[in-house]
Structure 1
Amino acid sequence: MVPVLRQSGIIPDNRLTGGYENVPTRDIHMNQVGFERQWLYILDTYIRPVQEIVFVGYYKQPPEAIMNFVVRYHPDEQASLRPHHDASTYTVDMALNQVGVDYEVSFQLKDGICVDIYSQGGGVRYVRYNCSVVDTIPGWTVLHPGRLTHLHEGLPTKKGVRYILVSFVDP
């Protein structure tokens, strides 16, 4: 998927029929590259069952997701994203490329505990909890509540290019 996105460049922005971008990003939507139907299948078949375990009592099949897009973080374009809440009940955030290959992350440890993160490839920081996720394995997802509780920001990309696939579920 990443090679296709790299080649696509900027596509006219007619993607938001009925959608709303809370915080605009440098991105391409799944409906622009003909991948939305397949992504919604993956979301329902593989991610929804995990979501039902993580968010006990929240069931909706199939999940409704009208904002499904790949974000590109690049130091010379959009390197970061200001703190924000997503326009969703919950958000799916999937890494599409590899730490150490496409971007780099380094940590400072004190007594075996991470005390500082020097990120050269971005990541996400949950402001309220002062918790950062910077080295997600490609294809793995982070699920987090969208509105109200999980204010988060995209950490600056200083070296390399980072791609993430994002879905705002049940907006």
Structure 2
Amino acid sequence: MKKKEYLERLEELHIELNSLARWLAGTGRRMVVLFEGRDTAGKGGTINAITERLNPRQVHIVALGKPSERERTEWYFKRYVAHLPAAGEVVLFDRSWYNRAGVEHVMGFCTKGEYERFLEQAPAFERMLVDDGILVLKYWLAVDQRHQEERFAERAGDPL
């Protein structure tokens, strides 16, 4: 897609997103959007493009780091519950509770028991969110190996 076409399409999408945000505010509905994917897949860039023209008092970005020692002793989903939206709000998670099934499990950051408990509890947790009226959207962003390596190389040369 050419840049001019991209910018035109992006403007149309921003108009739609603002319409959605007004609907959420007017109805008091809440929305959670999960962004998952491999490193360099574009999660942060996508979130920035989405939020660029939205009201920051209504739309919140959450990117949780590694759990603290205290958090490791608590119910896994507790750290996410603290960031759920209030009426009319949207929360965008740059990585989410699915980190437990992906990165944490693969890298050995959680036990087999914690991983299995997550697999049992995640559907029930999400059902609670939906039953409480929260709209839940989940996106997986992919990047192929070649592009991922190129992006890692770009990052290595970027001091910020």
Per the TM superposition, whether the score is higher than 0.5 is no
Which of the pair has more CA radius of gyration? Answer: 2
Question: Which has the larger share of strand?
Answer: 1
Question: Which has the larger share of helix?
Answer: 2
Shorter-normalised TM-score: what interval? under 0.3
